Structure 1
Amino acid sequence: MGISDSLIAAAKVLRDRANELCFAAPVAHVYHPLIYAWRAHEIYLRRYGDSRKRVLFLGMNPGPFGMAQTGVPFGQVAAVRDWLGIQARIDYWPDAHPKRPVLGFECQRSEISGQRLWGLFANRFGPADKFFEEHMVMNYCPVAFVEKSGRNRTPDKLPATERIALFALCDDHLREVMQILEPEWVVGIGDFAGKRAREVIVNAPAHVGQILHPSPACPASNNDWSGTVTTQLRNLGLWK
């Protein structure tokens, strides 16, 4: 089995196991983009996950206007369509909050985190293929959670029993991805992903680093995020 085939098989297992979990209030709506946006996700893995990687960038979980719409990590519509060259039909998702419908590539809201992340890589590497020669971007958790009010609820805010069950699946998947891609470095995008990577990759040969999350909800990210992260990656020895 090829590398991208192995990633796709691992994602299917994660998708199916996550879909068996139940989540109670305050979570009111659960989004599984690996189900309704599987076509785009599979294209992403097959096109860009076809080789070993030196660096694996690890995000937290799908954002409401990114991967929850396009099926691609940090999947701001314009970045996925225009830079990654991916566009696919996104299925209807019945459990969407009225304020957070799944519109796929018709979504007019911009995922700022994805705009910043993919924008940094595009500015530095040019064509997407050049970036993916040594890098890959994946999320730790494949599921997004929305409260009754329409507010996004991050996985770390789930009750302990739900969190433990979910993290067990995500940890297993991350370990499998590590075996498939054999990265020298795993770089957590933000505190949550950095912490999960450090807990999962205890005895693995890979190094673990962390960069500032690009979310505008993080005040430090709104002041030259790309310059800050470029410096962080240089200090880790990953970029020159």
Structure 2
Amino acid sequence: MLDRNANARVRAQLDAAEKLRDAVDSLRFAAPVVRVYDPLDYAWNAFAAYVERYGANPKRVLFLGMNPGPWGMAQTGVPFGEVAAVRDWMRIDATTGRPADEHPRYPVEGLSCRRSEVSGQRLWGLFRERFGTAEAFFAEHLVVNYCPLLFIAASPRRKGGEGARNLTPDKLPAAERRALYAACDAHLRAVTKALAPRFLVGIGTFASARAREALADEKVELVRILHPSPASPLSNRDWPGTATRQLVDAGVW
């Protein structure tokens, strides 16, 4: 049973997520974007379970990611939500739906998905290695995403057929970014107010830059760590060791 303050923190986060969901779902994105997935729509039950279980207490550290990966949050509703970490370590077993307009190359299968989100595997693997249990990690930490949307862009294939690729929010046209970022900034401020972290850790350059702009007037220490994406050569050379050193040097750990 949550106390009154814990209930208020959870409600504030869920209210902020609902407002973000409604705001971004009203936006439209031009080519090359061909599909937009919003896990706050079809995977709301899983996202809400994550917040209710692990977001009730104040946090000393808030980790901020960019947006859902196709085999992570897009499947599970949890930020950086690599399936095994969500199912086995966090023990979140909520059912998820599917996007209304699903792309054949990016099917949503929920916890049945056999693909692994490498970034999430690395991130949650580091936390599991350092803290042991999910409860120990979430006692002072939480992970959130800046943008809730997965953008799928057209990618013509040499032999024909409908190819596709993951498109990150920073690659959108400026006008589309402005409307999207306004909604995401408001959400980040609301979550920060609810959880009152001392540190906000941007996972990668994009998240760090957005946090710096959105939280310019907030009393929170901003820290940046290397993104765990396998697309980064540096991340493929001992990402856990690099991220840990960055967090220790910044006084987060």
TM-score normalised by L of structure 2: 0.93
Q: Which residue of 2 aligns with 1:181?
A: 195
Superposed CA deviations along residues 113-140 of structure 1, whole A, max 9, x for unmatched, are 0000000000100110110111010000
Q: Which residue of 2 aligns with 1:9?
A: 15
Which sits farther off after the overlay, 210-219 or 198-207? Answer: 198-207
Are positions 1:232 and 2:246 aligned together?
A: yes
Are positions 1:50 and 2:64 aligned together?
A: no
User: AA paired with 1:139?
Assistant: N
Are positions 1:108 and 2:114 aligned together?
A: yes
- Matched pairs, number: 239
**Whole-angstrom CA distance in 2 between matches of 1:18 and 1:89:** 23
- SS of 1:186's equivalent in the other structure is strand
- SS of 1:30's equivalent in the other structure is strand
- SS of 1:204's equivalent in the other structure is coil
Superposed CA deviations along residues 1-46 of structure 1, whole A, max 9, x for unmatched, are 5211211111111111111111110000000100000000000000
- SS of 2:85's equivalent in the other structure is helix
- SS of 2:64's equivalent in the other structure is strand
Are positions 1:217 and 2:231 aligned together?
A: yes
Contact 2:43 2:98 in 1 (8 A): no
User: AA paired with 1:227?
Assistant: G
Are positions 1:151 and 2:157 aligned together?
A: no
Q: Which structure has the bigger radius of gyration?
A: 2
Q: Which residue of 1 aligns with 2:70?
A: 64
Match of 1:141 among 141, 147, 165: 147
- SS of 1:98's equivalent in the other structure is coil
* CA apart distance, 1:178: 1.1
- SS of 1:2's equivalent in the other structure is helix
**Whole-angstrom CA distance in 2 between matches of 1:231 and 1:212:** 10
What is the RMSD of the two structures over their aligned residues, measured on CA atoms?
0.8
Q: Which residue of 1 aligns with 2:4?
A: none
**Whole-angstrom CA distance in 2 between matches of 1:231 and 1:89:** 37
User: AA paired with 2:83?
Assistant: V
**Whole-angstrom CA distance in 2 between matches of 1:18 and 1:11:** 10
User: AA paired with 1:93?
Assistant: P
Q: What is the percent sequence identity of the aligned residues?
A: 58
* CA apart distance, 1:200: 1.2
Structure 1: gaps (5+ residues): none
* CA apart distance, 1:203: 2.0
**Whole-angstrom CA distance in 2 between matches of 1:195 and 1:46:** 28
Match of 2:29 among 23, 26, 47: 23
Runs of 4+ in 1 over 6 A off after TM superposition: none
1:80-95 aligned at under 5 Å gives the runs 80-95=86-101
- SS of 1:164's equivalent in the other structure is helix
**Whole-angstrom CA distance in 2 between matches of 1:187 and 1:83:** 22
**Whole-angstrom CA distance in 1 between matches of 2:100 and 2:193:** 35
TM-score normalised by L of structure 1: 0.98
**Whole-angstrom CA distance in 2 between matches of 1:216 and 1:97:** 23
**Whole-angstrom CA distance in 2 between matches of 1:91 and 1:203:** 38
**Whole-angstrom CA distance in 2 between matches of 1:167 and 1:104:** 27
Match of 2:128 among 105, 122, 125: 122
- SS of 2:148's equivalent in the other structure is coil
* CA apart distance, 1:94: 2.4
